[in-house]
Amino acid sequence: MVDFLTGFDNDFFDQFENMRREMDRLFGGGPGSLGIRSMARGSFPAINVGASPERVDVYVYAAGVDPKTLDVSLQQNLLTISGERSIDLPEDAQLYRNERFSGTFRRAITLPEDVDPDKVDAAYRDGLLHITVQRREAVKPRHIEVK
C-alpha cells in the first residue's frame, strides 16, 4: 500500500523494521544486552542478582518449571542454571498466539570473584528459584578497633 503523503510503501519499511528486530534477537543487540553473558529482554528465565557483604542472592523466575529438571552449578564464579519447561496442550489444540516459552533453557551468570563455591544453597518455591552464594570469609570486611 502506497502512502499518498510520503509516496513510500509502508510495508517496505515494516519489512526493514522486522528484519532489524530479528537481527537484534539473533545477535543479542538492543536495550536488554548489557554484557557478554547478559540476555536480551524477554529471555527465559528472567533473573535478578543482588549482593551484600556476606552473600550474593540470585532470583530465577521460572514459573511452570518442574524443580526436578533444574540443574544449578557453580564453577569458580560462573553460575549456570539449566532446565526444561514443558507446556501440555491437547493434541487437537490450534494455537493462534504462543508467547509462553516451552523447551530447554540455559543461563550463565558471572558472579563476583569472592564467592565461595562450597557454600551454595538453592530452593524452589512457587515458581521462584532462590540461589544464595556466601562470600569467602577472608575477603569480608573486618572491623578493626583502634586503641
Average pLDDT over residues 9-32: 69
Domains of the chain: 1-40 (no CATH), 44-90+97-147 (2.60.40.790)
Whether residue 106 contacts residue 45, with contact meaning beta carbons closer than 8 Å, is answered with no
Predicted TM-score (pTM) of the model is 0.65
How far apart CA 61 and CA 107 sit, in angstroms, is 12
Q: Quick check: 1 pLDDT over 70?
A: no
Average pLDDT over residues 108-113: 93
β-sheet bridge partners, residue 85: 103
